[in-house]
Amino acid sequence: MNQSRAFQIEYHQFLDPDGVPVGDLPPLAEETEALQALYRNMVFTRLYDERAIALQRTGQLGTFASSLGQEAIGAGVGHAMRPEDIILPSFRENGALLFRHFRVRDLLLYWGGDERGMANPKLGDDFPICVPIATHTTQATGVAFAIKYRKQPRVVVCLLGDGGTSKGDFYEAINLAGAWNLPLVFVINNNQWAISVPRNLQSRAETLAQKAIAAGIPGVQLDGNDPIAVRHYVAEAIEKARDGGGPTLIEAISYRLCHHTTADDATRYRSEEELEAHRRLDPVPRLRRFMERRQIWSEEQETRLIQACQAEIEQEVRHYLDTPPQKPESMFDSLYAELPRELQAQRQSLLGKEVNHD
Amino acid sequence: MTEITLVEAVNLALMHEMERDPAMVILGQDIGVNGGVFRATVGLLEKFGSERVLDTPLAENMIAGTAVGMATQGLHPVAEIQFMGFIPPTIDQLISHASRMRNRTRGRLSCPMVLRAPYGGGIHAPEHHSESTEAMFAHIPGIRVVIPSSPTRAYGLLLAAIRDPDPVVFLEPKRVYRLMKQAVEDNGEALPLDTCFVLRPGSDITLVSWGAMLHETQQAAEQLAGEGIEAEVIDLATIKPIDMETILESVGRTGRCVIVQEAARTCSVSAEIAARLAEEGLMSLFAPIRRVTGFDTVMPMFRLEGHYMPGTERIIDAVRQTMEYA
């Protein structure tokens, strides 16, 4: 029997690029503290990005992935999560991580080439930054199964980029999440470029959210530069998952205003005109203008905020730069719960080498 | 004590550990209602329910990744891949995540998972069902690779693998699944990992092998004994990390070594053992180390698999050649 089905993908936005409401606003728009927290996170993330790039340019940090222009996604996701929820980030989710227990010093250590950046015990069950593309999506299903198995009221949030949706891992994960009705929210940070490959070469699918249809789970598209929209719809999906309503796929449309990483030169593959057009959609001034119109933000508050963020970041940078280096033998020390006898000789040979150098 | 086959010993160990450890779950294709294509998981669904015995969609990479996620939360997942020929999609998860989760979080998260798969040829299976690619896993830092050779070893080593706090790839020689029976006591006693087992003492030559090939190796040792050559037979059992102490000690006494494996020769586990013997045991060698292996070819379909897999004659030939050195 032939059966046809009609599907549709909804698109949501609350604020236009000038911060003007485009329709009815959710209750969040009346919560001054929440809006200011979102704004602070976005400003802090942007200043941290700038500082990290400066450290990289002066040889004090390794390759770094900025999230310039995409701060609304990190802020919205991070603010929507409860502390007991679990995040599985890709490598461009600074804002979301800064709403968790990740500190600037942790993130700098990590990008500075030191595993201890992902070790802070306060991170709890939050996952380390995932560099391979979309491989963490299937791990998210395992984490979500574990909390469901233990009947814990927690939700897993897995963030990936638009490029990640081209991988089999992504489909395998959303498919299992649907089949097992897992408490899991996938958020696609669609910044429209996977290094040099644009969104339209990534997939002929009209939206990335519609990939959810094949997995039988809800898919929704958002203006990812609208922090109120991201916060509202991610929170809605999280609470639905917490109530046993299963997974959701959210495509948050944004734009990568920066290079892919500090090792990339985006001028090779995209025009200044395109970049300029997207600068006008920047999420940071968008929320600021909205708050100013509501008279819950002033020039003076802005100045104080920037000073406070910069002071905190400088203190964290100092912590990072003052952290004593890892001992060479530490590469063996967390490899196995107990180092197998066979590897003890290798560890010893490294120690011997170290002694000789002294 | 009842006599059981290797696949029944796998089932017994899974049953025992699921009973003992509520954090243990098993997942894979066809492992539930069907009890696994080789029946390794038969009866587990009925006993432990569909919350702990999870029939998954068909996606090996997802099975491995989901097991990684489960393990980081303190569950003890045992994932089954139906045949080793279908195991390559899991390597991304093992090499990029499972093996390094503890290291990259300095122990904050760990990955106590087991990935089980039947491996090897000799059962006239279709293409992509008979591979022996254990060396690919042995190359990965941070994991263990364990291969039992008999029902008693399968029971004890699988218990150890499940209880191990780090990821273990557990490869079951499917040619031996129902080849032999042994008395296995369901006493919950694990065998040690990272350790060789000496199956037969001998003073003239050391034969090292693992998994199904130990059967031809032991047959060869029997025949050689008839010719007056006493071969010591070592079951490698854990192929990562390798217990070189036991092998070096044996070769130190016998002065000769033949390594027998079903896998292709180049960059294989036998290559590692031979290299280590050359580095650390050269002065005790009376003869070159010889290897009896599969060829560096694609594992042929079953009409030719008998020509690919080392048989008793090839092992005996290698030993005789080794014994010719004074």
Going by pLDDT thresholds of 50, 70 and 90, the confidence category of residue B2 is confident
At B218-276, the pLDDT tens digits run: 999 999 999 999 999 999 999 999 999 999 999 999 999 999 999 999 999 999 999 99
Inform me whether the C-beta atom of residue A137 falls under 8 Å from chain B C-beta atoms: yes
Interchain proximity A139–B69, CB inside 8 Å: yes
B143-165: average pLDDT: 98
Interchain proximity A140–B141, CB inside 8 Å: no
Inform me whether the C-beta atom of residue A7 falls under 8 Å from chain B C-beta atoms: no
Residue of B nearest to A179 (CA): B57
> Is residue A57 among the annotated active site residues?
no
Residue of A nearest to B140 (CA): A335
Residue A126 C-alpha, separation from nearest chain B C-alpha, in angstroms: 9
The overall longest dimension of chain A from CA atoms, in Å, is 79
Query: DSSP label at A15?
Result: B
Set of chain B residues whose Cβ sits within 8 Å of the Cβ of A139: 65-66, 68-69, 72, 93, 97
Q: What is the dihedral of CA B90, B93, B98, B103, to 10 degrees?
A: 150
Set of chain B residues whose Cβ sits within 8 Å of the Cβ of A342: 194, 241-244
Centroid of chain to Cα B198: 16
Active-site hit among A57, A269, A279, A318: A269
For A149, A235, B182, the CA distances from B50, given in Å and listed in that order, are 11, 30, 31
Tell me: pLDDT of B137 over 60: yes
At A227-283, the pLDDT tens digits run: 999 999 999 999 999 999 999 999 999 999 999 999 999 999 999 999 999 999 999
**Domain residue limits, chain A:** 11-326, 332-357
Helix (H) or strand (E) holding A241: helix A227-242
Residue B165: predicted pLDDT: 98
**Closest CB from B56, B92, B241 relative to A343:** B241
H helices within B113-193, ranges in order?
Answer: 134-138, 151-163
Interchain proximity B105–A118, CB inside 8 Å: yes
Contact A77, A229 (CB under 8 A): no
Set of chain B residues whose Cβ sits within 8 Å of the Cβ of A338: 165
Can B2-184 and B197-324 be said to share one CATH topology?
yes
Contact B79, B33 (CB under 8 A): no
Set of chain B residues whose Cβ sits within 8 Å of the Cβ of A138: 61-62, 64-66, 68-69, 93
State the amino acid at position A245 in one-letter form: G
Contact A286, A17 (CB under 8 A): yes
At A304-358, the pLDDT tens digits run: 999 999 999 999 999 999 999 999 999 999 999 999 999 999 999 998 765 444 3
Count of alpha carbons within 13 angstroms of residue B204, beta-carbon side: 15
Which residue, among A209, A227, A194, has the nearest Cα to A80 in the 3D structure?
A227
Active-site hit among A154, A232, A260, A278: A260
Cis peptide bond N-terminal to B241, omega within 30? yes
Residue A239 C-alpha, separation from nearest chain B C-alpha, in angstroms: 21
Residue B51 structure tokens: 């919350």
Which residue, among B65, B40, B62, B68, has the nearest Cα to B53 in the 3D structure?
B40
SS3 call for A219: strand
Tell me: pLDDT of B70 over 70: yes
Which residue, among A260, A164, A179, has the nearest Cα to A214 in the 3D structure?
A179
| Average pLDDT taken over every residue of chain A | 96
Q: Which residue has the tokens 């050779």?
A: B149
Residue A1: predicted pLDDT: 62
Inform me whether the C-beta atom of residue A335 falls under 8 Å from chain B C-beta atoms: yes
At B274-322, the pLDDT tens digits run: 999 999 999 999 999 999 999 999 999 999 999 999 999 999 999 999 9
At A66-100, the pLDDT tens digits run: 999 999 999 999 999 999 999 999 999 999 999 99
B2-184 architecture in CATH?
A: 3-Layer(aba) Sandwich (3.40)
Pairs of CB atoms within 8 A across A/B: 139
**Closest CB from B69, B109, B141 relative to A335:** B141
At A88-132, the pLDDT tens digits run: 999 999 999 999 999 999 999 999 999 999 999 999 999 999 999
Inform me whether the C-beta atom of residue A343 falls under 8 Å from chain B C-beta atoms: yes
A 171-190: CB under 8 A from B? 172-173, 175-176, 179
Inform me whether the C-beta atom of residue A306 falls under 8 Å from chain B C-beta atoms: no
Full DSSP string of A115-146:
GGGGT-GGGTTPPPPP-STTHHHHHHHHHHHH
Residue A353: predicted pLDDT: 60
Which residue, among B289, B291, B246, has the nearest Cα to B268 in the 3D structure?
B291
DSSP E strand boundaries for A231-275? 248-253
Which CATH entry fits the domain spanning A11-326: 3.40.47.10, 3.40.50.970, 3.90.660.10, 3.40.190.150? 3.40.50.970
Residue A355: predicted pLDDT: 45
Beta bridge partner(s), residue A50: none
SS3 call for A196: coil
Angle at A346 between CA A327 and CA B107, to 5 degrees: 50
Q: Which of B52, B60, B72 to mutate to test the interface with A (most CBs of A within 10 A)?
A: B72
Helix (H) or strand (E) holding B223: helix B213-226
**Domain residue limits, chain B:** 2-184, 197-324
Contact A148, A154 (CB under 8 A): no
B 267-326: CB under 8 A from A? none
Inform me whether the C-beta atom of residue B61 falls under 8 Å from chain A C-beta atoms: yes
> Is residue A136 among the annotated active site residues?
no
Inform me whether the C-beta atom of residue B22 falls under 8 Å from chain A C-beta atoms: no
Decide the pairing of beta strands B144-146 and B238-240. antiparallel
What gap in Å lies between CA B257 and CA B310, rounded to an integer? Answer: 16
What gap in Å lies between CA B298 and CA B30, rounded to an integer? Answer: 28
> Is residue A116 among the annotated active site residues?
no
Interchain proximity B108–A118, CB inside 8 Å: yes
What is the radius of gyration, based on Cα positions, of chain A? Answer: 21
Residue A121 structure tokens: 């015990």
B22-27: average pLDDT: 98
A180-193: average pLDDT: 97
What gap in Å lies between CA B204 and CA B228, rounded to an integer? Answer: 9
Residue A292 structure tokens: 């100013």
Residue A356: predicted pLDDT: 46
What gap in Å lies between CA B34 and CA B24, rounded to an integer? Answer: 20
| Average pLDDT taken over every residue of chain B | 97
Which CATH entry fits the domain spanning B197-324: 3.30.2320.80, 3.20.20.220, 3.40.50.1100, 3.40.50.920? 3.40.50.920
At B78-135, the pLDDT tens digits run: 999 999 999 999 999 999 999 999 999 999 999 999 999 999 999 999 898 999 999 9
Q: Which of A145, A151, A346 to mutate to test the interface with B (most CBs of B within 10 A)?
A: A145
Going by pLDDT thresholds of 50, 70 and 90, the confidence category of residue A35 is very high
Residue B1: predicted pLDDT: 77
